[in-house]
Structure 1
Amino acid sequence: MSTIVLSPEYGYTVAVAVASTVLVSFFGYRVARVRALAKVPLPFMYADAAEVKEDYQKHIFNCYQRIHQNTLEGFSSYLVTLMFAGLQYPIPSAVLGGIWILGRIFYYRGYSTGNPEDRSKGAFGRIGDLGLLGLTGKMAFDLITSGI
């Protein structure tokens, strides 16, 4: 049986994971707040198209809901790659995680204007996703080939 020893630098990776979780929670809080303002009752995920045409606040609610849902759609894979890659590459993983966070913030700031096209301001956050995926893949390859 082998023992895994975590480097002190892995703390940066963990800190980025915590910050990411706080960000996702903030997005959820914002959805709840805007839901109340738009008067979209639970359990409805979105205001329907007819309501959106009549009430701009319902359109804004849909934008906030989409910010949160889109972030959640990729959050588990982001978090898994962040934590695994951070075992071998803690500092690069923390930096890539930070890029993901900044991308999500810019995505939020763009989309929350009510103009969905403005969400592309956060597209650079994909560098974080793809970089973490690459580091995790490299780590897997290194582990598999180390015994060959």
Structure 2
Amino acid sequence: MVTFTLTPDYGYTVAVTVVSTLLVSFFGAKVTSYRDIAKVPLPFLYAEPAECKADHKKLIFNCYQRVHQNTLEGFASYLVTLMFAGLRYPIASAALGSIWCLGRVFYYIGYTSGKPGARQMGVFGHIGEVGLLGLTGKIAYDLIMAQP
């Protein structure tokens, strides 16, 4: 039987989870506030391409919306790997989670500049994501190999 003990260092993993959640909430709040500026009514998620060509604010709104949606698309798997990998590797997991967060911030800054291609400056955030997946995979391997 394999057991996990939460050490005080796991607090760093939990802290990064809180920061990550606040970051996603911030992205959502920006979508909400820019929706009013761009005059994109609910329930529409995005402005149409023709609207974006006619009104730059609508393009910027779409960029805010895409940052939020893209972040949400991978957020559940990121959180699962962060929290699980943190059980055995709390400092490494917190560091990798911080890289993911920082990558998301740069992704946000680039994308919402109005030049969607500038989002690529946040691509380094995938290092955090892949690293967390690797640590979680290592834990899975160790658990399977610990069987008699």
**1:17-51 deviation per Cα after TM superposition (whole angstroms, max 9, x unaligned):** 00000000000000001100000000000000111
Equivalent residue for 1:17? 17
Cα deviation for residue 124 of structure 1 reads 0.1
Q: Which amino acid aligns with 1:98?
A: S
String of CA shifts for 1:60-103, please: whole Å, max 9, x gaps.
00000000000000000000000000000000000000000000
Cα distance per residue 1:76-135 (max 9 Å; x no partner): 000000000000000000000000000000000000100000000000000000000000
Asked whether the 8 Å contact 2:2–2:146 carries over to 1, the reply is: no
2:34 is equivalent to residue 38 of structure 1: no
Match of 1:84 in 2: 84
Alignment of 1:135-146 (within 5 A): 135-146=135-146
> TM-score, normalization: structure 2?
0.97
The alignment's C-alpha RMSD in Å is: 1.2
Q: Does 1:47 align with 2:24?
A: no
The alpha-carbon deviation at position 2 of structure 1 amounts to: 7.4
**1:133 matches 2:133:** yes
Task: Measure, in 2, the Cα distance between the counterparts of 1:6 and 1:59.
Answer: 46
Residues 103 and 114 of structure 1: is their aligned pair in 2 closer, same or farther, counting only changes over 3 Å? same
1:5, CA displacement in angstroms?
2.3
Matched with 1:73 is 73
Q: Distance in 2 between matches of 1:44 and 1:8?
A: 45
- Displacement of 1:146 in angstroms is 1.1
Give me the identity figure in percent.
67
Shift in Å, 1:4: 4.1
Contact 2:46 2:61 in 1 (8 A): yes
Q: Distance in 2 between matches of 1:45 and 1:72?
A: 14
Q: What is the aligned length?
A: 148
CA 1:45–1:4: 2 relative to 1, 3 Å: same
Aligned counterpart, 1:109: 109
Q: What residue is the counterpart of 1:95 in the other structure?
A: 95
Structure 1 distance, partners of 2:78, 2:30, is: 22
Query: Taking structure 1 as the reference length, what is the TM-score of the superposition?
Result: 0.97
